[in-house]
Structure 1
Amino acid sequence: MAPKIKIGINGFGRIGRLVARVALQRDDVELVAINDPFITTDYMIPWGAAGADFVVESTGVFTDKDKAAAHLKGGAKKVVISAPSKDAPMFVVGVNEKEYKPELTIVSNASCTTNCLAPLAKVINDKFGIVEGLMTTVHSITATQKTVDGPSSKDWRGGRAASFNIIPSSTGAAKAVGKVLPVLNGKLTGMSFRVPTVDVSVVDLTVRLEKKATYEQIKAAIKSSIFDAKAGIALNDGFVKLVSWYDNEWGYSSRVIDLIVHMASVSK
């Protein structure tokens, strides 16, 4: 039997806990350490001593390479950031994970929305070509939102109570697709509506196609993600709206582990 991939988790919030649950259900991964960044330094874990080869950085705070590099100094061999990063290379399983090289020590698993959007956009672009597109995600509540109305450092709307409002918000998910699929760089942008549900979100992607295709042809081409064939529409053979559902918590956490397993296989 091949040795298990040993992982540690830094940040035990929603994603950190779900990554732990996914890891505990797998036979090829061993969870060796969990660290929460808000405990005293006396109890923080030296990853090397714990035997953690991979660290999942899921605090939502250490999202750039310089900050994430602290885990390498602590003895970890690789770091996977469970959020978009401004400077770490981003990978989406099923889209560009084969471009990963063993010398990359800090990578990002992108966002949950990018993990839904990128496979959908890749299939459409590979088959029919995308001229340009707009994306809207209807997104469940996250821990960054307010439980009651209050001030927000981001924008006024962001301070509204999450459980009682539909809140328009910005998202970098569509632009991030251009990082995992450079051929689409500059062709997609998008926005978000934060809605008062606990989990499960949906992407609405509207694109202009390079090659004409009926909606039936598009449905036949898509095999990745939970594509809602009945929810999408086509104005004509060159302008379509596609709808795809995604689990922004459990599904995303599963992809984090999938990426780690792939990285480990390449690094052997």
Structure 2
Amino acid sequence: MPTDSFATPLRLAINGYGRIGRCFLRALRESGRRDAFRVVAINEPADLASIAYLTRFDSTHGRFPGRVDADEDSLLIDGERIAVSHATTPEAVDWAGLEIDLVVECSGQYGDRAGLTRFLDAGCPRLLLSHPANSAADVDATIVHGINQHLLRGHERIVSNASCTTNAVVPVLDLLHAELGLEQVLLTTLHSVMNDQPLIDGYHHSDLRRTRSAMQSIIPVSTGLARGVERLLPGLAGRVQAKAIRVPTHNVSAIDLVLALERDTDAGQVNRLLRDAAAGPYAGLLAYSDDPHASIDFNHDPHSAIVDGAQTRMNGPRLLNLMVWFDNEWGFANRMVDVAAHWLRPRA
């Protein structure tokens, strides 16, 4: 169980209390860091009764492990008060008056420097994004915990936690590139449905595929995964292609990796590398299993990725195919907690 050495609990606020915002609050509690951090404010346009209800009951992750109540303007978690506001712009929240150390931006509405700076101008001291920025220059750092968190020095103002798929695949690619060399990478994400898709056909998106019923079809969508991987692993620049397909499941996604290697290997050696990494330097970040799995087995799994060793295939000595599972909500929310802890920890 992680511990963090803070003289007093750090004060956090959540902007946007949807799937990731609610998972972040819950991950703080379940990660063992509830004494190091205190969520003191939530900004979410929805009404307070709905906020309390969806905190208490979650169709994917089950009931909240604690008491959830609400009064006129606050959410109460085991009696601890969290002020709730309903602003639709960063400027409408008194971030400075809340005396917070960090805002966790989970609305997904802001991706460029101009939009993100609005939070700083409104009194927010630091901003951690639950999504990639439009470009690397729009943030001070893009972090995948376990890979490059050491780059954080504490003076940064805006940091991105990348995406759930980037957090899942980058540790695997980083390890295999170091051990076997990667000439070319083709990634296919099989991602659970998301809120930008309708339950039945409707005018919900400019991407016509996303106007189709989420629960009736397998739907190809656009993805920035290749760009995100190359942002974190510049040694693979120009070698990564990616596509994404939404599948009608509520949670837990997978990435199918096709990798052209620089050195000869076999499936047994690859699985040993990944198994040893999961038990050693990547413990807590990467997991390994060769049991006969289905996606539901990894619901509420806090790892960034779980390698399915039973699905490892080789076509010749240098063409490798891997399957990686990940809970696209819970694993990612736990990495946000890790990044916040590392970023805000005291430094000499």
**TM-score interval, normalised by the smaller of the two chains:** over 0.9
1:170-216 CA deviation, whole Å, 9 max, x = no partner?
Answer: 21113211111111122111111101111000011111011111111
Identify if the C-alpha distance between structure 1 residues 153 and 145 changes in structure 2 by more than 3 Å, giving closer, same or farther.
closer
Matches within 5 A, 1:66-105: 66-86=114-134, 87-88=138-139, 89-105=141-157
- Which of 34, 51, 54 aligns to 2:99? It is 51
Identify if the C-alpha distance between structure 1 residues 200 and 158 changes in structure 2 by more than 3 Å, giving closer, same or farther.
same
CA distance in 1, matches of 2:152, 2:346: 8
Q: What is the number of equivalent residue pairs in this alignment?
A: 268
Map of 2:38 onto structure 1? 30
1:252 and 2:332 matched = yes
Moved more, 92-101 or 10-19: 92-101
| Amino acid across the alignment from 1:109 | N
Map of 2:265 onto structure 1? 213
1:158 and 2:163 matched = no
| Cα pair 2:200 2:213 within 8 Å, conserved | yes
- Which of 60, 66, 69 aligns to 2:108? It is 60
Q: Which structure's relative contact order is higher, taking Cα pairs within 8 Å and 6+ residues apart?
A: 1
| Cα pair 1:6 1:29 within 8 Å, conserved | yes
CA distance in 1, matches of 2:238, 2:142: 17
Map of 1:120 onto structure 2? 172
Map of 2:296 onto structure 1? none
CA distance in 2, matches of 1:207, 1:263: 33
| Amino acid across the alignment from 1:46 | D
CA distance in 1, matches of 2:88, 2:263: 58
TM-score, with length taken from structure 2? 0.73
Moved more, 88-97 or 9-18: 88-97
CA distance in 2, matches of 1:72, 1:99: 21
SS in structure 2 of the partner of residue 190 of structure 1: strand
CA distance in 2, matches of 1:206, 1:250: 25
CA distance in 2, matches of 1:76, 1:220: 46
| Amino acid across the alignment from 2:232 | V
| Cα pair 2:196 2:204 within 8 Å, conserved | no
| Cα pair 1:215 1:237 within 8 Å, conserved | no
CA distance in 2, matches of 1:246, 1:41: 32
1:84-106 CA deviation, whole Å, 9 max, x = no partner?
Answer: 11232311001111122333210
1:195 and 2:247 matched = yes
Map of 1:240 onto structure 2? 320
- How far has the Cα of 1:258 moved from its partner? 0.6
Matches within 5 A, 1:253-268: 253-265=333-345
CA distance in 2, matches of 1:113, 1:241: 17
CA distance in 2, matches of 1:182, 1:37: 38
1:229 and 2:281 matched = no
- How far has the Cα of 1:40 moved from its partner? 4.6
| Cα pair 1:117 1:174 within 8 Å, conserved | no
| Amino acid across the alignment from 2:107 | T
SS in structure 1 of the partner of residue 217 of structure 2: coil
- How far has the Cα of 1:267 moved from its partner? 5.4
| Amino acid across the alignment from 2:36 | D
Q: CA-atom RMSD, angstroms?
A: 1.9
Identify if the C-alpha distance between structure 1 residues 47 and 136 changes in structure 2 by more than 3 Å, giving closer, same or farther.
same
Give the number of the structure whose alpha-carbon radius of gyration is greater: 2
In structure 2, runs of 5+ residues without a counterpart are: 47-85, 279-285, 287-304
Moved more, 110-119 or 37-46: 37-46
| Amino acid across the alignment from 2:233 | L
CA distance in 2, matches of 1:41, 1:179: 31
CA distance in 2, matches of 1:123, 1:4: 35
CA distance in 1, matches of 2:149, 2:235: 16
In structure 1, runs of 5+ residues without a counterpart are: none
| Cα pair 1:24 1:31 within 8 Å, conserved | no
SS in structure 2 of the partner of residue 230 of structure 1: helix
Map of 1:15 onto structure 2? 20
Moved more, 148-157 or 109-118: 148-157
- How far has the Cα of 1:152 moved from its partner? 4.9
